Copies of this chain bind each other. A is one copy, B any other.
Amino acid sequence: MEFNYLYLIDLLGTFVFAISGIRLASGKNLDWFGAYIVGLVTAIGGGTLRDILLNTTPFWMLDAKYVVTTGVGLVAALLFKQKLFSWGKTLFLFDTIGLGMFCIVGLVKSYEAGFPPWVCIIMGTITGSVGGVVRDLILNEIPLLFRKDIYATACILGGLIYFACIQITPLLPWAGLISVGMIITIRILAVRYHIHFPVLRDL
């Protein structure tokens, strides 16, 4: 892959996902190594499950940049402890951009593997959200995703928009940009206006 904006966003997404794992790991008595693994699993977990389901070699085994970027994330977290909180809004933005891009990358990879749109939308959603689920399971919490979803629904809607776009026009790159933009917009609006599904009461 040449050095371009996609490459940069991919690195940034990995970095921010890793940071989110490392932050949650802190205060749980994990050592540095454990924090690194939790960060790595958060960053690559979704894409790994997608590639296992697609029966292909996991993406991070073909390019060392994900393993390295997570290491940079750990060093950054150790060096800039205090700053990490004041960077909250910036991190949220990158996290959301990463979500959108991971999701559409996973969707397109599945579509190219020959799966129908509904499978691709699920694969995109898995790519964007399963890393955070595994992070929560490792740290012994009921996954946030299941309690107050701010991830998966945005991915599903973004995926629907993607397939609506390529139905209308064959200009693929634009479909990707539009749907990534929609995922980012939906998630930001959902967080800002506290939009979420109702809680399931006792059955």
Hey, which bits of chain A sit against chain B, CB under 8 A?
A: 22-23, 25-35, 37-38, 48, 52-58, 61, 64, 67, 77-78, 81, 84-85, 115, 118-119, 122, 137-143, 145-149, 152-153, 196-203
Contact = CB atoms under 8 A, between A and B. Distances in A.
Nearest to A201: B26
Given A22-B200, A30-B147, 17 more contacts: A23-B203, A25-B146, A29-B199, A30-B200, A32-B198, A32-B199, A33-B146, A33-B197, A34-B143, A34-B147, A34-B197, A37-B152, A55-B56, A64-B118, A67-B122, A77-B203, A138-B143
B137 A199 contact: no
27 contacts: A22-B200, A22-B203, A25-B146, A26-B200, A26-B202, A26-B203, A27-B201, A30-B142, A30-B199, A31-B149, A31-B196, A31-B199, A31-B200, A32-B198, A33-B146, A33-B153, A52-B52, A52-B53, A55-B56, A61-B119, A64-B118, A67-B118, A81-B201, A84-B203, A137-B137, A138-B146, A139-B142
Given A38-B146, A146-B138, A152-B33, A55 B53 contact: no
